[in-house]
Amino acid sequence: DFGFGISTKKVSVYTGSKQFVKIETNKPNKRLAGAVFLIKNKAGNYLQQTANGYKWTKNESDALHLTSDKNGAFSISGLKTGSYRLKEIEAPSGYILSETEIPFTISTSLSEDKETVGRLKVVNRKENSRPFLPKTNETKNILLVVVGMVFASLAIWLFIKKRTGVTK
């Protein structure tokens, strides 16, 4: 109360941070650089950085991009306590993009100005360098069948021509 009959009440907004590390699936000690992530809230909106902090947007193109550094590390701070999801939008070179969104929680203790930091591991599988088997209805399969039929027809025609003794 400042003598005007108005009382003030201190309102605390708790925020926290989260640290992540990007690693290879089969080699947990191998850190991966260059992975790019977005953060989504429960409503499916993306975190966007503004001059005054953060806001939520429906447009993925406006979202804040978090990129793993040479040690595979990246982090976010200043988020309100709650549940979020991490979405990978670009895998490191030579690795497969993860289709799974990773849930994480921002929580803090009740003491003011104290951030809770926890490390969450995010994994990627290495791309397979071996040739893969062709898939059904793949365009190159159809092309191979057509070329094979042309050669088979040519071989049959030459065989028949040779047997009948027809020459020009």
pLDDT of 83 over the 90 cut:
yes
User: Which pLDDT score, from 0 to 100, does residue 18 have?
Assistant: 87
> Where does residue 69 fall: left (phi above 0), alpha (psi -120 to 50 degrees), or beta otherwise?
beta
Nearest in space to 62 (alpha carbons), one of 46, 75, 83? 46
CATH entry 3.30.470.20 includes domain 15-124: no
Lowest mean pLDDT among 40-49, 72-81, 96-105, 124-133: 124-133
Q: Running DSSP on this structure, what letter comes out for residue 77?
A: E
pLDDT of 4 over the 70 cut:
no
For residue 79, the SS3 value is strand
β-strand pairing of 119-124 with 15-24: parallel
pLDDT tens-digit readout, 92-125: 988 888 888 999 988 865 444 444 344 667 776 7
60 alpha carbon, distance to own chain's centre: 13
Domain regions of the chain by residue span: 15-124, 133-168
What is the reported pTM? Answer: 0.62
Contact at 8 Å (CB) between 74 and 67? yes
